[in-house]
Structure 1
Amino acid sequence: MVDSKFGIFLNGSYGVGKSATLDHLADRFAESDLPFSLFDVDWFHRSWPPAPSDPRNVVTEADNIRAVWGNYRRTGPHTPIVAGVIRIPDDLERYEGAFELPLRVVHLTASTETAEQRLRGRYTASQRRALNWHLNDHQRLARDCDQFSPYDLVIDTDDRTPADVAASVFDRFAPDLHL
């Protein structure tokens, strides 16, 4: 039996198209009158400095997601649609705990060349430090994400638009949602 109440988690390294796909997936849900709530997890842990007891800000991130999700949930049934990174089973467990729902994890991939091109297009000249950090780390994170298993869907985004990727995700999961 398929669980009809779940969230969708767009997973992958930097530059694979998670945030862009998230926006297009919201459009598909809205066009189909399916209630949803968007979460780009980067905005739930961007603070400095992190607590000494939470150096990766993951506890803070989960607490922030839980609070916002509680507000959305009070307005009625919604499907959380999330863009972020799951590298290890503990990450998935933390996110499922924050949403109190199982998550269907979609692994978005891209070649090194495509990811680097997208990253270069994302940052301005004044953001060179952030660009260099992401360029230096995206391959390691891609390897980490590749090691996580199981995925409910894997999509190579190299030759696909975010709208095409969103359509594939929507077509795979929307029929199973019964809100």
Structure 2
Amino acid sequence: MTTPTANLSELLLIGGRSGAGKSTVAWEVSALLQERESAHAFIEGDFLDQIHPAPADDPHRSAITARNLAAVWGNYAALGCRRLVYCNTVAVTESQMLTEAMGGSVKPIGVLLTAEAATVAERLRGREIGGAYDAHVERSARAAAYLEAHAPAWVRRVPTDDRTVTDIAAEIVAHTGW
């Protein structure tokens, strides 16, 4: 088992549109790393900016995300952790902000999960109960277009259609070398 040097941390960014499988896959990546005894921490990025209303001076909540990540990562790093799995819709487009929040020398590894519109619609239908389904599908389509246009070339695209969560997670872990 290889681990990063004491001075270098590694950040696995898992991004993708709603319904692509980010959270499910990230949890499976963490479970697979645990099975392999690979030390890491896992943060669901959506939990770092859940404040309403958004601060007037931070309408996109990026400053509060960075502050919260710095605080949580600081606690993990103090325990010797050097690897972080982080998932959020736009995580792969915010690598600079996230690596700066972690401080020190951080190597980002980006994965963008993709899924066809029909797959996304089916997945969202299974979890969105009530009146928010249509709005969620529309937001997901906008996010997919944004991510396609703005995700850096170094980010690996991983399709999730017709694949098991276990297979997707194994591909991602293999890509990290962890």
Q: Which residue of 2 aligns with 1:63?
A: 67
User: Which of 94, 98, 101 is 1:95 aligned to?
Assistant: 98
Q: Which residue of 2 aligns with 1:112?
A: 117
Give yes or no for the alignment of 1:54 onto 2:54: no
Give the secondary structure class of the aligned counterpart of 1:11.
strand
| Rounded Cα–Cα distance in structure 1 between residues aligned with 2:21 and 2:125 | 13
- Report the alpha carbon displacement of residue 56 of structure 1 after superposing the two structures with TM: 1.3
Q: Which stretches of structure 1, 4 residues or more, deviate above 4 A after TM superposition?
A: none
Is the contact made by 1:45 and 1:57 (CA closer than 8 Å) also made in structure 2? yes
| Rounded Cα–Cα distance in structure 2 between residues aligned with 1:87 and 1:62 | 12
Farther-moved stretch of structure 1 (78-87 vs 138-147): 78-87
Is the contact made by 2:11 and 2:86 (CA closer than 8 Å) also made in structure 1? yes
Is the contact made by 1:107 and 1:151 (CA closer than 8 Å) also made in structure 2? no
Give the secondary structure class of the aligned counterpart of 2:177.
helix
Q: Deviations over 1:75-125 (max 9, x none)?
A: 112310011133785x22111111232211101100011111111111223
1:1-179 map, 5 Å? 4=4, 5-86=9-90, 91-100=94-103, 101-125=106-130, 128-129=131-132, 131-147=133-149, 148-175=151-178
| TM-score normalised by length of structure 1 | 0.87
Q: Deviations over 1:60-87 (max 9, x none)?
A: 1111111111111111123100111337
Is the contact made by 2:41 and 2:81 (CA closer than 8 Å) also made in structure 1? no
| TM-score normalised by length of structure 2 | 0.88
Aligned length: 169
Is the contact made by 2:15 and 2:92 (CA closer than 8 Å) also made in structure 1? no
Look up the equivalent residue of 2:37 and give its one-letter code.
D
Change in Cα spacing, 1:155 to 1:96, as seen in structure 2 (3 Å) is same
- Report the alpha carbon displacement of residue 133 of structure 1 after superposing the two structures with TM: 2.6
Provide the aligned C-alpha RMSD in A: 1.8
Percent of residue pairs identical:
24
Give the secondary structure class of the aligned counterpart of 2:87.
strand
Change in Cα spacing, 1:49 to 1:93, as seen in structure 2 (3 Å) is same
Give the secondary structure class of the aligned counterpart of 1:104.
strand
Is the contact made by 2:18 and 2:89 (CA closer than 8 Å) also made in structure 1? no
Structure 2 residues not aligned, in runs of 5+: none
| Rounded Cα–Cα distance in structure 1 between residues aligned with 2:27 and 2:20 | 14
Farther-moved stretch of structure 1 (31-40 vs 95-104): 95-104
Structure 1 residues not aligned, in runs of 5+: none
Look up the equivalent residue of 2:102 and give its one-letter code.
F
| Rounded Cα–Cα distance in structure 1 between residues aligned with 2:81 and 2:59 | 33
